[in-house]
A and B are shown apart, each in its own frame.
Chain A
Amino acid sequence: MSIDTLTPVLTSNWGDERAWKLTNYERRGGYKALRKALGMQPSEIISQVKDANLRGRGGAGFPTGMKWSFLPKDNPNPVYLVVNADESEPGTCKDIPLMMASPHTLVEGVLISAYACNSHHAFIYCRGEVLHVIRRLQQAVREAYSAGYAGKNVLGSGYDVEVTVHAGAGAYICGEETALLDSLEGRRGQPRLRPPFPAVAGLYASPTVINNVESIASVPGIIGNGAAWFQAMGTEKSKGHGIFSLSGHVRTPGQFEAPLGITLRELIDLGGGMREGHELKFFTPGGSSTPILTAEHLDTPLDFEGMAAAGSMLGTRALQIFDETTSVVRTTLRWVEFYKHESCGKCTPCREGTWWLVQTLRNLEAGHGSEGDVEKLLDVCDNIGGRSFCALADGAVAAVTSAIKYFRSEFEAGYTTPARELFPYEKSALFGSAEDDSRTTTTTSDTAGVHA
């Protein structure tokens, strides 16, 4: 597979010298799309985005243009545009490098999208832990104000827009759009009851559009090059380019921007192949919340339909690659520990269910499981999945059920044998020596209050 497969649009300038500076972005044609957009009617922009068939890049794949058109026309409250930049799922790593390397791509997208939605105030809610990215964003927004792209009377068009960069405070749940709104309003981030939907009563009970970073960043390209240009990429129902993040047991992990529908085989080739002497065991197609797949899915198109047909989801195209040295029990435990730690506590199945799953999985990893644990895991998952308030717990369940689906015997081995014995952890370590891994059997700090 050759490098020609790639379609660098969002990533095209990442290698440039100081790509994050406004002048360098402009040298590449940056903000031309904004000028063009300001000459169009907002409805024309929405039509273009609809025609391009841009689907949300945050995981769910909802058509972006359609989302914008849900905004009520007769609501007297202001319209807000909120960009979900709270990228924090294990494996997912596309928005943060984008905002780090080329924040202006996002800012230009924000300005065009806000104009299209008749919004005069846009918020970028960025994951709080990535301070360096927040600074880049803030600097980019400042530059955009100074250049007249943002603020009062943008480029003399009469259009006013404020852009606010807001830092999160360290909660995965705030990537859930309504929890994000609560957090942005200064409350604890917990998902809200729907209806009302954010399009009707979102931020400050006003009409609100919430889009992923990559979705918004894709808008300038569509406006600049036209819907047909975007439509030319991808598969029948999954159009355009997307950033695929490869991590794990590949030789050259990183971000690869390619048309939707590329296969993992092609991507692993682009990534220089698997780790020397190893073969693919399983992978997540779109972050830890998408059910895992195995080598039999190497040629399945990585688009919304292809992944759904394979029983998984495209998610955020975060391909975590694991080779045959990896214990799937251990991987699953790590993911579920993450979900337990990040469960907001609002609803019973997620709060209690993840607490339970972790304990059972820990037993299995340690070889202390009991006969019937696998059935119990599946039944507990059945009682969580689809019953919780938001999708967070569904992600935890997906990790467990898909792992058992493909590797049931490995879980059953946990009734008697520690995973470390079956899959010595140093064998799957990518960096450092085996000693680094000796800490993995200690309990995590969030068990405070548990009596032994």
Chain B
Amino acid sequence: MSVDTKNDTGAKVETKPEEVTLTIDGIEVSVPKGTLVIRAAEKIGVAIPRFCDHPLLDPVGACRQCMVEIPDMGNGRGMPKPQASCTLEAMPGMKVSTQVSSPVAEKAQAGMLEFLLINHPLDCPICDKGGECPLQNQSLANGYGESRYEGLKRTFPKPVNISAEVLLDRERCVLCARCTRFSEQISGDPFIALVERGALQQVGIYEDKPYDSYFSGNVIQICPVGALTSVAYRFQSRPFDLVSTATTCEHCASGCQLRSDHRHFQVKRRLAGNTPEVNEEWNCDKGRFGFMSGRGADRLTTPLVRRNGVLEPAGWHEAIDAAVAGLRAADGRVGVLPGGRLTTEAAYGYSRFARAVLGTNNIDFRSRPYGAGEADFLAAHVAGRTLSDSVTYADLETANTVVLVDFEPEDESPIVFLRLRKAVRKRKLKVVTIAPFRSRGSAKLDATLVATAPGLQAQAVAGLQGLDSGSVILVGERAALSSGTLAAVAELAATSGARLAWIPRRAGDMGAVEAGCLPNLLPGGRGVGDASARVDVAAAWGVQSLPEEVGLDASAMLAAAGEGRLGALVTAGIEPRDFSDPAVMVEALEKVDFLVSIETRLSEVAEHADVVFPVALIEEHAGSFLNWEHRSGRVNTVIRQSTAPMTDLRVLAALADAMGADLGFRGAKGAAESLADLGVWEGARPRFTHEPHVERPASEGLTLATWRQLLDDSAGVDHEPDLQATAPVAVARLSVKTAADLGIAHGETLTVSGPSGALSLPTEIVADMVDQVVWVPANSGTPVTALGVLAGDRVTVTKGAAA
């Protein structure tokens, strides 16, 4: 372990931490000062058995399993009694005798295991943990073969739900307090706690506060026995029947490394991987439990072609021929909407397909509301970068201040939230958030709220003081919706020296930016408007030239399609409800001459399509995701027998072939090599000064604030009802004064109305919220887009439910 500190010039300087040398079982070992004996022993290959100890949780010393003898504390005096090595810091000159060399330690450990088993049901054959159980394993390694206990075992009715997704079998619990410490220390949701005493002590929940945490699945993974299980995985498989594959989560831009376990060609469960530089050993419940969305009846398995107005199953050749005919007829008047579910390789395939095959820059991955000027910001400040010149998780841990602009990490990038919380807890990191109110996540980060109504973020950003080169500004994808915010953020970073990172919401977004899935950007941060960049790419791709004009962005494409100016649209993984105006989107889908949909599930888009290509689920193909840090995470093939063996890249390559062009690769490996060969642009970067000012129509009503909660009506969590049940209850939030002005009381239903729809929710009155603003979740129930409004627009709020 080393600590990075920064000197005055901001350069990183390695400082060597103080080392202490001690002797364990006769072997000398040096460890950094502050290391616990239990971990020092690991360095010489001695595994001291343990239950409560966890390297990422504060020591508690509760289970007493890790007893060792200390013949010398380093001061010449020994400890008269065995000591718990999980709470004992290594001291210089200390001598430690573990079970390897001390009969006393060995007996103390064996005795402790015997104690743990007297009240533990020996139901290993039906227990989910059996086969991967630390209690089982350590009993075999360090325990007596037989128990001398002949008395009665403590029993409890079983199991009890501690949340919709997590079950507790109390009689299996060894009371190590890992789960309660996780929820208190790591996620900051202290809604489970040990209650009662003695052998009847147990994990309990608050009656009026269920354990609804975005991170609850972690307690199952760190439970050293089978006391905590998930409803989803309970009794589904034995660990030894599962095949494990390391992969990267597809749900958000945090970039969690996962372990995906499958059996019988189905993913049975997903666990957090151990990746200290990204997700440490944690992940969120969406990433852990949300892998069922491809299991529904809407899963596409064969291509579909519209014949006489009806979408019918077709063979691949027919579908490809039909698609090519339609795309040829459009003659370059094509738009590509690849969405955000794609791996970097697949996004690159769409980018190259649009430019080199279709001959257009009409490509935009943004299947969400976005603001004018965002693409220019991305070109100047985000694209064409690598991990080495980006803000990282480690930078968040060492920053002096982190500013959140239009970014709610707990909802929008949960591992960023956990890392910020760690820094807040361990080193009192200062977090400042520019938001309309103090969210649950902000409160857990002890964040200073700069209460800001949507639309006024630019002024709030400009007013921030005290940032320097040790500070970090994290700006969310929603920032572009408020005119001037991105410019203000860029300006603040430039003047203060603070580092800047843009954190999108979806896993494929950063890869799509780097792959050039934007109308103004070619891969690697090359501006479309830069002739030398175009030549660079054209040469690499072996084409004569690339289109010179900046293409249409998503909104422009939809408008053009709606007006009949586009001949064809190619889409992948998009839903109308995600776009700023679903009605415009649907109209475009209806009016466009020809629509190709490349999808895993039959969607609303596919229903309008002329040709639908089924592609593999995330667990059925390989590739990678670029997370917000620009760190690449491998996506590995988990299931090798796919019902839809084609990938996006295979489909695009087949279409290119049939159009007499060459995509350049047919799979992820080739795409990755091609993208790597291009590399990032080393020439001049596009400049970003300010986004065009968009005048919002002034009208009566409240200003709308909204964002998507981590668990909402996202299609990615479909078919996992127990996970969906842990989603936060949808409420509308008002300040005390605004609610009073409207005569709405806490808990009463209110209705938010926009030009094209209305949304009714119970009211939550929030103490430190800005006035004249109403907040609603963006996609929990009726999506906000269905109201025909965006964050920052005026809406009408009335008491009572919609008529």
Contacts and interface: CB of A to CB of B under 8 A. Distances in A.
Given A343-B199, A355-B118, A387-B82, A348 B174 contact: yes
Interface in A217-241: none
Q: Which of A188, A352, A379, A451 has the most CB of B within 10 A?
A: A352
Contacts of B155: 449-451
Given A387-B111, A449-B154, A346 B62 contact: yes
Interface string B199-215: 11100000000000000
A387 B151 contact: no
Contact of B64 (A188, A360, A387, A448): A387
A345 B198 contact: yes
B156 to A, nearest CB: 6
A215 interface: no
A452 B155 CA distance: 11
A47 interface: no
A305 B61 CA distance: 32
Contacts of A198: none
B60 A343 contact: no
List the 6 closest pairs (A to B, CB-CB), nearest first: A383-B111, A345-B201, A386-B81, A359-B151, A352-B115, A343-B198
Contact of A344 (B112, B156, B197): B197
Interface in A357-412: 359-360, 370, 376, 379-380, 382-383, 386-389
A446 interface: yes
B156 A347 contact: no
Contacts, number: 115
Contacts of B107: 382-383
B149 A356 contact: yes
A6 to B, nearest CB: 37
Interface string B657-695: 000000000000000000000000000000000000000
Contact of B197 (A345, A348, A379, A389): A345
Given A352-B119, A355-B199, A345 B111 contact: no
B61 A193 contact: yes
A351 interface: yes
Contacts of B199: 340, 343, 345, 351-352, 355
A56 interface: no
Q: Which of A343, A356, A360, A452 has most chain B Cβ within 10 Å?
A: A356
Contacts of B174: 348
Contacts of A340: 198-199
Interface string A307-346: 0000000000000000000000000000000001111111
A355 B119 contact: yes
B481 interface: no
A171 B196 CA distance: 11
Interface of B: 59-65, 67, 80-82, 87, 107-108, 111-112, 114-116, 118-119, 148-156, 174-175, 193-201
A121 B114 CA distance: 46
9 contacts: A193-B59, A340-B199, A342-B198, A343-B197, A343-B198, A347-B64, A383-B108, A383-B111, A383-B114
Interface string A163-183: 000000001010000000000
Contacts of A253: none
A88 interface: no
A354 B196 CA distance: 16
Given A383-B108, A386-B80, 12 more contacts: A188-B195, A193-B59, A344-B198, A345-B196, A348-B116, A348-B175, A351-B201, A352-B116, A356-B149, A360-B151, A383-B114, A451-B153
Of residues B150, B174, B197, B200, which shows the largest number of chain A Cβ atoms within 10 Å of its Cβ? B197
Interface of A: 171, 173, 188, 193, 340-349, 351-356, 359-360, 370, 376, 379-380, 382-383, 386-389, 446-452
A380 B198 CA distance: 17
Contact of A188 (B151, B156, B194): B194
A352 B61 CA distance: 16
Contacts of B63: 347-348
A440 B4 CA distance: 67
A365 to B, nearest CB: 14
Nearest to B110: A383
Given A193-B87, A345-B194, A355-B118, A389 B152 contact: no
B154 A356 contact: no
A348 B64 contact: yes
Highest count of chain B CB atoms <10 Å: which of A345, A348, A349: A348
A376 B148 contact: yes
A442 to B, nearest CB: 16
Contact of B200 (A345, A359, A382): A345
B75 to A, nearest CB: 15
Nearest to A191: B61
Contacts of A348: 62-65, 112, 115-116, 174-175
A355 B64 contact: no
Contacts of A448: 200
Contact of A450 (B60, B62, B154): B154
A337 to B, nearest CB: 11
A345 B194 CA distance: 9
Given A193-B87, A345-B197, A348-B64, A452 B115 contact: no
B64 A193 contact: no
Contacts of B198: 340-345, 351, 354-355, 446
A351 B175 contact: yes
A345 B154 CA distance: 13
A376 B147 CA distance: 11
Contacts of B149: 356
Contacts of A450: 152-155
A452 B151 CA distance: 10
B115 A353 contact: yes
A370 B198 CA distance: 26
Contacts of B153: 450-451
A370 B148 CA distance: 12
A86 B61 CA distance: 25
B62 A347 contact: yes
B194 A356 contact: no
A357 to B, nearest CB: 10
A344 B114 CA distance: 19
A351 B200 CA distance: 9
Nearest to A360: B151
Contacts of B151: 355-356, 359-360
A451 B153 CA distance: 7
Nearest to A376: B148
Contact of A352 (B108, B118, B152, B195): B118
Contacts of A359: 151-152
A35 to B, nearest CB: 45
Contacts of B150: 370
Contacts of A370: 150
A387 B81 contact: yes
Contact of A349 (B59, B80, B112, B175): B112
B118 A449 contact: no
B152 A383 contact: no
Contacts of A387: 64, 67, 81-82, 108, 111-112
Contacts of B81: 386-387
B171 to A, nearest CB: 9
A389 B108 CA distance: 14
A343 B175 CA distance: 13
A264 B154 CA distance: 42
B82 A446 contact: no
A343 B198 CA distance: 5
Given A340-B198, A343-B197, A446-B200, A383 B115 contact: yes
B609 to A, nearest CB: 60
Contacts of B194: 188, 345
A383 B67 CA distance: 11
Given A188-B194, A451-B152, A389 B62 contact: yes
Nearest to B89: A195
Contacts of A447: 152
A170 to B, nearest CB: 10
A98 B179 CA distance: 44
